[in-house]
Amino acid sequence: MVTIIKPGTKKIAKCNRCGCEFSYEDEDKKIHLHKTYVPCPQCNEEYIIEQTRNLESSDFNIKSDGNTLIVEPNCGFYKNDDVPRTVIMNGKEVPVVGV
């Protein structure tokens, strides 16, 4: 008879930056301040699994040239890696550049 020794624990993710599809397990997760993530094995982009605090616009200095948002963390709490890569603005996806 076939029996399960340990139920499957792998999860599948797709990187938002390079499109790499990869699997991860709970022990692969990393925690930084208010987020839990797994680094993409191809480009090292943080694949966010859980964010326990929403980023507020007041947490960042935000400028725009009309086509691109330029975002700089407003305090030492965040680093440029915390800046989202794209946002929806007027119904259109707009790239974000971290300073």
Contacts for 8-14 with beta carbons within 8 Å, 24 or more apart? 13/38, 13/47
pLDDT digits (tens, 9 = 90+) for 36-75: 899 999 999 999 888 766 656 666 677 777 666 666 666 5
What is the reported pTM? 0.48
Task: Kindly give, in sequence order, each residue whose CB lies less than 8 Å from that of residue 62, ignoring residues fewer than 6 positions away.
Answer: 69, 70, 71
Q: Are 46 and 58 in contact (CB under 8 A)?
A: no
